[in-house]
Amino acid sequence: MKSTLVNSLCLLLWLLVSTVSTAQTGETVSDSGVDKNPTQVVNELSDRIQKKKDKRSQLITDARQQSRPLTSDEETDFAEITSDIERLQRTLLLSVTGESTLGRLYEPPRKETTWQEDVVDILKPLADSVKSITRRPRKIAELRAQLEAVEQKERGLEDAIEKFSRIEKKTLNAQAAGYVDDLSVGWQDDLQQLQQENLIISSQLADLLGDDEEPFSATMKSLKAFALGSGLTLVLATITAIAVYFLMRAGWWLYSHKLVSKDVRRKSTLFRVFSYSYHLITGFLVVLSVVVVIYMRDDLLLLALAFLILAGIIFNLKQFILGYMAEARLLLNLGSVREEERVIYNGIPWQVKSINLHTVLHNPALEGIVRLPLSAIQDLVSRPVKNKIWFPTSRGDYIILPDGTFGQIKHQTPDVVELRVRGGMALTYTTDAFYALNIVNLSRHSTFGVSVTFGLDYSLQKTSVVEVPAVLKEAINNKLVSEGYEKELLGLMVELSAANTSSLDFLAYATVDNSLAGSYYKLQRLMLQTCVEVSNEQGWTIPYPQLVVHNA
């Protein structure tokens, strides 16, 4: 995008410099003398005009003498002669006054115009400037084409005259001889007229090709004219625009930092409206200042360019105004997503930290932020934050996955969650997939529980409700205390939980401090080992599943 902008600016600069250069030389090209001997040209052209007029008068006289209207052939000849007279008269004026003076003499009368014609008239300086860049080569090509056409006609007439001159008039009858003489005289007149045109075109072409001005001198002259003209206008417009911009910035800084508190700046919707209105007004005043400077300098070329650029901007805004209205509501914190509220994006809750051209989403439990364009949050809906639960885990927590995997959170970012599992291995999930799991977090609250189910034989049925649980509870408590967990052991329960087909199942459940989360499986093993040791000491039978077959 930056390279495109630089190329556009370079093209615009070249256009302006070339315009100044051709503007300086344009009059010389158009108004240069067309003949080195104008008196002779005027005399010859006057003679040709008079001959044409006499020939046209003769047609009318012949018709009147015969008391008849002009025939179709005579009307065609009359129109052709009249056209030749007008062309010769214009050529005569061109040879004396030059093209620009002739254009002023034949300037069409003013008339009422439509708004479309007014727009074209406004852009005319720009079009004329672009055309003036190639005026000289186009004029040369045009004159060469005209010269080639005239020379072809000359060669054709000369060839026809030469062939007719070979005819011996003695062998012709009176009518044929008269017809040949009339053709020869007419062709001689046409040949002389073409020769005059050849002389004028050749003179104009020689003037254009005879410019011996040094290229470097012409370039410096063009640059100087540009610097004093459109270049100076551009500099003044740029300085004015910068001054207006910084003046508006200073006024806004005084208002937002001296007259308004920080809380108002963060939470007030009215302040946000003023903020974005300030940007719109600043842009409008900057553009207006540039246009005013160009207008005061009477630079029609730059004014046409400014009008064209503004028209393009307005047209593009018209195409996207509906989409921008929805984004404007978001920018003003009046849309479906608002700052400091909670929003669900990609299945994860986020807090909207700021809404701007790029909205910033932040989850306090994750390392990093998400930056989204306004178009990505238009379809989202936020709500006020009611709790502080942003993610099921935090860095360093010990968790149990649904498949029984035990691990510790090492890193969790908006993209991935990394766990350290047994043996120091790493297990990685995408953040949205991890958030969807039903995990058990042992570190989230101050305590967690460890449970063990232990089965004994039905021979202990009479003592299974009171005595057996009491013995097991005392033994497990002593074991955990001996292992150094006395302070962390906050509660212990042993009860008969179920009577299965081949055993009486007892549940041992210990409530411990969350500082022992990393020892979850160790605590479970200690409780199970204690139950086995007590069974051995008391002579209790640990049953195994049995299959009983009854005979009929």
- Tell me the pLDDT tens digit for each residue of 205-217: 777 676 544 445 5
pLDDT > 90: percent of the chain: 19
Choice between 380 and 45, residue whose per-residue pLDDT is larger: 380
Alpha-carbon torsion (95, 97, 100, 102), positive or negative? negative
Question: In 3-state terms, what secondary structure has residue 98?
Answer: coil
> Where are the chain's structural domains?
2-34+98-104+115-224, 231-331, 342-383, 398-441, 447-538
Q: What angle do CA 317, 321, 325 make, to 5 degrees?
A: 140
Rounded to an integer, the average pLDDT of 33-60 is 73
With CA atoms as reference, report the closest residue to 125 among 305, 313, 309: 305
Choice between 226 and 388, residue whose per-residue pLDDT is larger: 388
pLDDT confidence tier of residue 263, bands split at 50, 70 and 90: low
Lowest mean pLDDT among 190-194, 333-337, 533-537: 333-337
Element (H, E) at 362: strand 358-362
Rounded to an integer, the average pLDDT of 509-534 is 92
- Tell me the pLDDT tens digit for each residue of 119-147: 566 556 656 655 665 666 777 788 888 88
pLDDT of residue 2: 40
- Using a 10 angstrom Cβ sphere, with 0-12 exposed, 13-18 middle and 19 or more buried, the burial of residue 301 is buried
pLDDT of residue 221: 60
pLDDT greater than 90 at residue 71: no
pLDDT of residue 408: 92
Rounded to an integer, the average pLDDT of 499-520 is 90
pLDDT of residue 99: 54
Write down the pTM of the prediction: 0.49
Inter-helix orientation angle 135-165/115-133, to 10°: 80
Phi, psi of 504 (to 5 degrees): -100, 120
- Tell me the pLDDT tens digit for each residue of 474-499: 999 999 999 988 898 999 999 998 88
pLDDT of residue 11: 43
pLDDT of residue 413: 92
Rounded to an integer, the average pLDDT of 36-53 is 75
**What is the rounded distance in angstroms from the CA atom of residue 168 to the CA atom of residue 216?**
64
pLDDT > 70: percent of the chain: 72
With CA atoms as reference, report the closest residue to 58 among 43, 70, 48: 70
Best-predicted range by mean pLDDT among 1-15, 116-130, 417-431?
417-431
* Fold topology of 447-538: GMP Synthetase; Chain A, domain 3 (3.30.300)
pLDDT confidence tier of residue 267, bands split at 50, 70 and 90: low
- Tell me the pLDDT tens digit for each residue of 423-466: 888 999 999 999 999 999 999 889 999 999 989 988 888 888 88
pLDDT of residue 476: 92
pLDDT greater than 90 at residue 234: no
pLDDT confidence tier of residue 98, bands split at 50, 70 and 90: low
**What is the rounded distance in angstroms from the CA atom of residue 30 to the CA atom of residue 39?**
20
Choice between 171 and 10, residue whose per-residue pLDDT is larger: 171
**What is the rounded distance in angstroms from the CA atom of residue 451 to the CA atom of residue 431?**
30
Q: Which two tokens stand for residue 177?
A: 């001889």
Instruction: Looking at 134-268, list the stretches that DSSP marks H as alpha helix, in order from N- to C-terminal side.
Output: 135-165, 174-209, 215-228, 230-254, 262-267
pLDDT greater than 70 at residue 526: yes
How many Cα atoms sit within 13 Å of 322 on the Cβ side? 1
Inter-helix orientation angle 215-228/230-254, to 10°: 40
pLDDT greater than 50 at residue 35: no
pLDDT of residue 227: 63
